[in-house]
């Protein structure tokens, strides 16, 4: 018998890597995940910039489950930027980001400031939702 369960993983800015909070969810439902996001708070007051759905499965013979399916990222608002946008902005603080985008051939990134500034590549299958963070 195969067991299957859905989860939503919330991503918040961390010191070096994103902080993650994983919660069970009945189905891959954006509205339900958006309602859940308001209760997520990580270290230093960081709140989510994105979430992703995952499905885990296992058989009775398996001790641990494994991720069998995942969605793209659902970014909670943010600004979509290209290299041209960043070059036009002419902020010296963007120089490493511009270099990384060119080297890694990232066409677009999402800059999110829901709590702390976080910039991440916008990949195929990712979506930027119309989202306004709650007042601090």
Q: Which residues form the domain of 8?
A: 2-76
**DSSP 8-state symbol, 60:** T
Residues 61 and 85 in one domain: no
User: Has residue 130 been placed in a domain?
Assistant: no
Token code pair at residue 115: 């709590």
Residue reference for tokens 């989860």: 7
Summarised one tens digit per residue, pLDDT across range 45-97 is: 899 999 999 999 998 888 888 899 999 999 999 999 999 999 999 999 999 99
Of 53, 52, 48, the closest CA to residue 13 belongs to 48
Residues 84 and 37 in one domain: no
Residues 97 and 109 in one domain: yes
For the chain, what is the domain count? Answer: 2
Residues 37 and 10 in one domain: yes
Summarised one tens digit per residue, pLDDT across range 6-52 is: 999 999 999 889 999 999 999 999 999 999 998 998 988 899 999 99
Provide the whole-model pTM.
Answer: 0.90
């Amino acid at each position: 018998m195969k067991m299957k369960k859905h989860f939503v993983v919330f991503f918040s800015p961390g010191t070096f890597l994103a902080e993650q909070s994983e919660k069970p969810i009945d189905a891959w439902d954006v509205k339900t995940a958006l309602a859940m996001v308001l209760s997520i708070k990580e270290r230093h007051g960081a709140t989510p910039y994105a979430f992703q759905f995952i499905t885990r499965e296992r058989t009775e013979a398996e001790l641990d489950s494994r991720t069998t399916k995942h969605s793209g990222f659902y970014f909670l608002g943010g600004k979509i930027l290209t290299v041209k946008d960043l070059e036009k902005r002419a902020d010296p603080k963007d120089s490493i980001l511009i270099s990384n985008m060119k080297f890694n051939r990232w066409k677009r990134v999402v800059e999110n400031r829901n709590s702390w500034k976080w910039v991440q590549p916008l990949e195929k299958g990712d979506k930027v939702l119309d989202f306004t963070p709650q007042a601090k």
